[in-house]
Amino acid sequence: MSESNKTIKNKEEIEEFNLTVYEDNRGFFYEAYSKTLSDSINIQFKQDSVSYSKKGVVRGLHYQWEEPMGKLVQVINGRIIDYAVDIRTSSPSYGKYWSYELSKENRKCIWIPPGYAHGFEAIEDSVVLYKCSAYYNPDAEGAINFYDEAFGIKTYFSPDRAIISEKDRTACSFFEYSKNPRFLWETQDK
């Protein structure tokens, strides 16, 4: 392991939040973020990012190790299948993935802590909001191929149907990532 590896305590797990939506004949209102939500994951966010993805776009699986970045992800418009893969070496769930449907209709948001690679498939044209726990650092970002068979992700779009950047299409395999992992899992008992 290189010196730039980050040790992540095992309390850092994915969390799903159902936001309360108030609807009436005018439309709807909801709190996309509050201090209560921030306190529940004990994070101070540093940056908001927004992406627009056409139907069929696949993004990821991305991670950042310096400063480690976690993301609170929600869909403002459209529908995505959001994915997180545990990339913390020694974690009991190392290499396991989770998927969540996030949409304008269900108003869910997902906390994906540092130590997980993140990506999504846009099932519809979608606007996605990310609250990030670190500033973006292009010199310390990485990507693992979304279609790597090591994960067994059941994708909505096959690689030949997906709209995917060249950077993501040629991202390293999980096996290659495992040769020089950027995150180490550690139990709270140590």
| Domain extent listing, the chain | 6-186
CA distance 8 to 51: 27
CATH number of the domain located at residue range(s) 6-186 in this protein:
2.60.120.10
Structure confidence at residue 22 (pLDDT):
84
Structure confidence at residue 188 (pLDDT):
52
Structure confidence at residue 187 (pLDDT):
63
**Alpha-carbon separation of residue 158 from 12, 162, 165 (angstroms):** 31, 6, 14
Q: To the nearest 5 percent, what fractions of the chain are helix, strand and coil?
A: 10, 45, 45
CA distance 113 to 17: 14
Tell me the catalytic residues: 62, 130
Structure confidence at residue 80 (pLDDT):
98
Structure confidence at residue 3 (pLDDT):
39
Q: Report mean pLDDT in 10-residue bins for the chain, 190 residues.
A: 43 79 86 80 90 97 95 97 96 95 94 96 97 95 96 92 96 96 74
Structure confidence at residue 5 (pLDDT):
47
- pTM for the model stands at 0.87
Both tokens of residue 1?
A: 């392991």
Structure confidence at residue 31 (pLDDT):
82
Structure confidence at residue 165 (pLDDT):
96
